Structures are given as structure tokens and as C-alpha cells.
């Protein structure tokens, strides 16, 4: 009996610990496990190309009817006011149209695709700043990105898998030359504070990473970006 207990104890030590609910944020078009990067830099000398970052999530328990995802990301610049290069509000911002969101994961990807076989029906993307406030209350050097996606049909979502949520891409348009929007070289910090899984759970804890930096030498700590007390927002109406 003693040997059986010892054997079971050894198996317990050898077994991998189950991951808790949470989310990840990384630079690039793949998930964190594909490309765990927290810093992106640019010489800011061209209007060509783009930079991307990706959100993924892990649910410890199965969701019987997975409706969609809702996420808030907060950005803060080292400068007293948000540079024109980060004025991405469409319409109105100096670089309107430079931001896009994709719900198709890069191939191959270390994350599963929860959107496969579903048709886009509910989608909302908004970039809000003090100059172009959508929600109000933004500080002069901050911006908020809100993303909602709820395609149909609503399917079960198995547990124990890290899922791709979406990729945000920001192109380099109007970085240099006539009509350029200054501030590409200014360091900024981007933080993902919360992800809501409609039909499931509110995720508030990062798995591996929740903070990104744009340009080296930034001094704004990840903790400086506000933690937003969110509600179910627009996605809640899908239950009605």
C-alpha cells in the first residue's frame, strides 16, 4: 500500500498543472506561444508596412453556448498628450483608417480557432481618445480600444485549449512625408486588462503576458494604464 501511495504521489508531481482562466497579449499575428514578444520597435522612416498584436484566451471549463468575445485594451504614451500618430479614430483621427482588426488566425498557429465555421453577424471596433472621445473620460495621453465579435451560430467551446481571439494591425501610413502624423517614435505602453467571453466567463488574469511596449526606452509602467471596471456592454444585448 505504501508503494501505491508513493507511486500516485509521483504521478501527481509529474502531471502538468491545469491552467487557470486567462488571456495573453503578444506582438505579431500569432498567439503568445507562437511568438512571445513584448517589445516592438520601428525606425519610423517609411509609410510602408505594418505592426500587429494578438489577443488569445484560455477557458478552464467548457462553455455550452459560446457567443463571442469582448475586450478592452488601454494605451498610454510617454508624452503629455497622445501623438497624432496614435490618433486612429475613424473618422476624424490624423491616421484614420490605419487600424484594422482580423478574426482569422495566422497559419499555422499554436492556438485553436473558435470562429471556424461561423459567419460574422455582430462586430464592433472603436478607438477612443481625448481628442475623439467615444466613451469619455480619456486622459490626454491615453487611448482605449474596444473590440466586440459575436459571429453565428453560437457553438459549444471545449475547455483546456488556448484560443485565438483577434489580431490588431496598425499600418505605417502617414508616418513620413507630406501630411505626416508625428509621434511614431514616442514610446507607448499597451495593456489588456479584461476579456469577456459571452456565454461563459469574465477573464481578468493574464496567462503569461498582458503588457506590450512600442519603441525601446519607454518609462510608462504597465500598472499606469487604468484597469477598467467593465460591464457586459453591447454583447449583453445578444442574450435578449
Q: What end-to-end distance do the CA atoms of the chain give, in Å?
A: 57
Per-residue model confidence (pLDDT) at position 200? 67
pLDDT at 240 over 80: no
Closest CA to 143 of 156, 153, 133: 133
Q: Distances in Å between the alpha carbon of 218 and those of 142, 185, 232?
A: 15, 10, 33
pLDDT at 220 over 50: yes
Mean pLDDT of 116-121: 85
Most confident segment among 54-68, 93-107, 120-134, 174-188: 174-188
pLDDT at 11 over 80: no
Residue 128 makes CB contacts below 8 A (sequence gap 6+) with: 89, 134, 135, 138, 143, 144, 145, 146
Most confident segment among 91-95, 160-164, 179-183, 192-196: 179-183
* More confident: 237 or 23: 23
* Mean model confidence pLDDT for the chain: 85
pTM: 0.86
pLDDT at 10 over 50: no
Per-residue model confidence (pLDDT) at position 19? 64
Burial (CB count <10 Å: 0-12, 13-18, 19+), residue 124: middle
pLDDT at 86 over 60: yes
Per-residue model confidence (pLDDT) at position 225? 62
Amino acid at each position: 500500500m505504501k508503494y501505491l501511495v508513493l507511486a500516485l504521489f509521483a504521478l501527481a508531481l509529474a502531471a502538468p498543472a491545469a491552467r487557470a482562466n486567462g488571456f495573453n497579449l503578444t506582438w505579431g499575428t500569432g498567439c503568445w506561444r507562437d511568438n512571445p514578444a513584448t517589445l516592438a520597435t520601428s525606425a519610423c522612416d517609411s509609410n510602408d508596412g505594418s505592426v500587429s498584436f494578438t489577443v488569445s484566451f484560455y477557458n478552464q471549463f467548457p462553455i455550452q453556448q459560446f457567443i463571442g468575445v469582448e475586450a478592452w485594451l488601454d494605451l498610454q504614451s510617454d508624452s503629455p498628450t497622445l501623438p497624432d500618430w496614435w490618433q486612429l479614430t475613424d473618422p476624424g483621427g490624423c491616421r484614420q483608417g490605419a487600424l484594422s482588426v482580423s478574426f482569422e488566425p495566422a497559419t499555422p498557429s499554436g492556438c485553436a480557432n473558435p470562429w471556424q465555421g461561423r459567419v460574422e453577424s455582430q462586430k464592433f471596433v472603436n478607438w477612443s481618445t481625448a481628442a475623439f472621445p467615444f466613451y469619455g473620460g480619456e486622459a490626454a495621453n491615453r487611448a482605449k480600444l474596444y473590440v466586440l465579435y459575436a459571429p453565428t451560430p453560437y457553438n459549444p467551446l471545449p475547455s483546456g485549449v488556448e484560443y485565438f481571439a483577434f489580431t490588431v494591425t496598425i499600418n505605417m501610413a502617414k508616418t513620413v512625408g507630406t501630411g505626416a502624423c508625428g509621434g511614431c517614435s514616442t514610446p507607448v505602453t499597451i495593456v489588456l486588462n479584461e476579456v469577456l467571453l459571452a456565454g461563459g466567463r469574465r477573464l481578468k488574469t493574464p496567462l503569461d503576458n498582458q503588457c506590450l511596449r512600442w519603441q525601446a526606452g519607454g518609462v510608462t509602467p504597465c500598472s499606469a494604464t487604468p484597469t477598467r471596471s467593465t460591464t457586459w456592454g453591447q454583447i449583453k444585448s445578444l442574450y435578449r
